[in-house]
Amino acid sequence: SQQGEEDPQALSIQEGENATMNCSYKTSINNLQWYRQNSGRGLVHLILIRSNEREKHSGRLRVTLDTSKKSSSLLITASRAADTASYFCAPWGNTDKLIFGTGTRLQVFP
Amino acid sequence: DVKVTQSSRYLVKRTGEKVFLECVQDMDHENMFWYRQDPGLGLRLIYFSYDVKMKEKGDIPEGYSVSREKKERFSLILESASTNQTSMYLCASSLAGGGTGELFFGEGSRLTVL
C-alpha cells in the first residue's frame, strides 16, 4: 500500500517552539505531499516534495525527504496557536490515487 | 480562487434513506475524489473519477455509488443509509491525475445516520 504513517500521533508544544512530524512509507515514490486539516474542516495542501529533492521550504515550513530510509519530516518553526491542526502526509508512487494516513494532531498552546 | 463546494455541511438521515452528497468544483479539474474520514482510521478513498461519466472504485466502495454527469459535479450516493456510514465525507479535485499534483478539498459533509 502507498499509505504513509505519521509519527507521533499527537504532539503538544508551546507557542514559539518548533514542531517536527515524521512520515514513513513502504514503497518507492515519485513525490510526497503534506496537508493540514483544521478541526472539522477540509484538508489544505501545504507542500509537495519530489523524489529527487531532499529539502523544501515554504515560509515557516521545512520538509525533508530521505528516499533511502523511506521517510519524510515536516518542521514548523516558531509555532503559533493557529498552527493547531492535524497534519497528514501522502506519499505517491505509480498509482492513480492519493492515500492518506491517520495524521499527527498538533496542539500549540499560547 | 480555487473552490470545492460541498452542498451540505451537516446532515442527519434515518437508516434506509437514500442520501445524496453533492460536490462542485470551479477549477475545470478532470479528477474528483470522495473520501470518508473516521477517528483512528484516517481518510479512506471511496470512489474517484477521471472524466465525465467515468468512475473508479477506491478502497471502500461498498454501500456507495457515484455520478459524474458534468465535469464540475461529482455526487456520492448512499442507496440505503446505514448507521456505519455515519462519518465525515470529504470531496476533492485535482488538475493532474493520481498524485502528481495537489488535491483541493471541500469543507466536508458530516453525515449522521440514526
Domain count, chain A: 1
Residues B70-97 have pLDDT tens digits of: 999 999 999 999 999 999 999 999 987 7
**Do A45 and B104 make contact, defined as CB atoms within 8 angstroms?**
yes
pLDDT of residue A20: 98
pLDDT over 70 (residue A44): yes
Residues A56-80 have pLDDT tens digits of: 999 999 999 999 999 999 999 999 9
Domain that includes residue A90, residue range: 5-109
**Do B105 and A92 make contact, defined as CB atoms within 8 angstroms?**
no
In angstroms, rounded to a whole number, what is the distance separating the alpha carbons of residues B32 and B97?
9
**Closest residue in B to A100 (Cα–Cα):** B43
pLDDT over 80 (residue A94): no
Give the whole-number percent of chain A exceeding pLDDT 90.
84
pLDDT over 70 (residue A19): yes
Question: For residue B101, what pLDDT band results from cuts at 50, 70 and 90?
Answer: confident
Q: Which residues have a Cβ under 8 Å from the Cβ of B70 and sit 6 or more positions away?
A: B52
Domain count, chain B: 1
Name the residue with cell 483544521: A38
**Do B42 and A41 make contact, defined as CB atoms within 8 angstroms?**
no
Computed over every residue of chain A, the mean pLDDT equals 94
pLDDT of residue A101: 84
pLDDT of residue A95: 77
Query: Which stretches of chain A are assigned E, i.e. beta strand?
Result: 5-7, 10-14, 19-24, 31-37, 43-50, 55-58, 61-66, 71-76, 85-92, 104-109
Question: For residue A1, what pLDDT band results from cuts at 50, 70 and 90?
Answer: low
Residues B31-47: what's their mean pLDDT?
93
Residues of chain B with a CB closer than 8 angstroms to some CB in chain A? 4, 33, 35, 40-43, 45, 48, 50, 56, 58-59, 88, 90, 92, 97-108, 110
pLDDT over 90 (residue A2): no
Question: For residue A15, what pLDDT band results from cuts at 50, 70 and 90?
Answer: very high
pLDDT of residue B22: 97
CATH number at residue B73: 2.60.40.10
β B10-13/B109-113 pair status: parallel
Domain that includes residue B17, residue range: 4-113
CB contacts, 8 Å: B48 with chain A? 96-97
Number of H helices, E strands in chain B: 0, 11
Computed over every residue of chain B, the mean pLDDT equals 94
CATH number at residue A47: 2.60.40.10
pLDDT of residue B95: 87
Residues 7-36 of A with CB under 8 A from B: 30-31, 33, 35
Residues A24-34: what's their mean pLDDT?
93
